[in-house]
Amino acid sequence: MSDTTSLTLNGLLKQVNAPSNTPLLYVLRNDLDHKGTRFGCGSGNCGACTAIVDGHAVQTCDVPLWSAENKEIITAEGLSQDPIGKLLQDEFIAEQAAQCGYCINGILMSVTALLKKTSQPSHEELYETLNRHLCRCGTHVRIIRAVNNAITKLSTGVLV
């Protein structure tokens, strides 16, 4: 049996007709065609499926659709509409902070959520945020540099 669930996706109200216990990841990818939210491990351990739900970075593979009802969701496709998300995207591009790119969308989502809460996170807060993401490409130095560049720009009031 399917239920109709309302949610706001990247600023647009969406109605989804799916069973309420369907993982949010599947709804985002299959029903709403937001492929930037990636399937990784399927158990909330790798971070590839991270989206921002009501301001919090959430791994959507183990979140049921019912828990997202009437909530504001931002996916990788919506980052360019957000000043902090756009700044981070630009810095990641400038630093070439992606190699294969599979994990980067989730990392961008988590760091965007962090910087929306605090524009000057401590190194510990940043590393704790990044620790939830499994990345094997070896671009960690460039990721940290890109995030630090964004933090510097935020501290000087410069937004793209």
Task: Give the DSSP H or E segment for 73.
Answer: strand 72-74
List the structure tokens of 28: 């985002």
Alpha carbon distance 34, 7 (integer Å): 14
Give the pLDDT of residue 159.
66
Give the pLDDT of residue 129.
94
> Each residue of 127-145: pLDDT tens digit?
999 998 887 777 889 999 9
Classify residue 138 by burial, with Cβ atoms within 10 Å: 0-12, 13-18, 19+.
exposed
> Each residue of 58-96: pLDDT tens digit?
999 999 999 999 999 999 999 999 999 999 999 999 999
On the question of pLDDT at 2 being above 80, the answer is no
* pTM > 0.85: yes or no: yes
Q: Which residues, 6+ apart, have CB-to-CB distance to 153 below 8 Å?
A: 87, 91, 159, 160
List the structure tokens of 105: 């969308």
Q: Please state, in angstroms and as integers, the Cα–Cα distance from residue 87 to each residue in 44, 63, 140, following that order.
A: 27, 28, 18
Greatest distance between any 2 Cα atoms in the chain: 52
Alpha carbon distance 108, 75 (integer Å): 10
Q: Are 86 and 79 a contacting pair, CB within 8 Å?
A: yes
On the question of pLDDT at 160 being above 60, the answer is no
Domains of the chain by range and CATH?
3-77 (3.10.20.30), 78-155 (1.10.150.120)
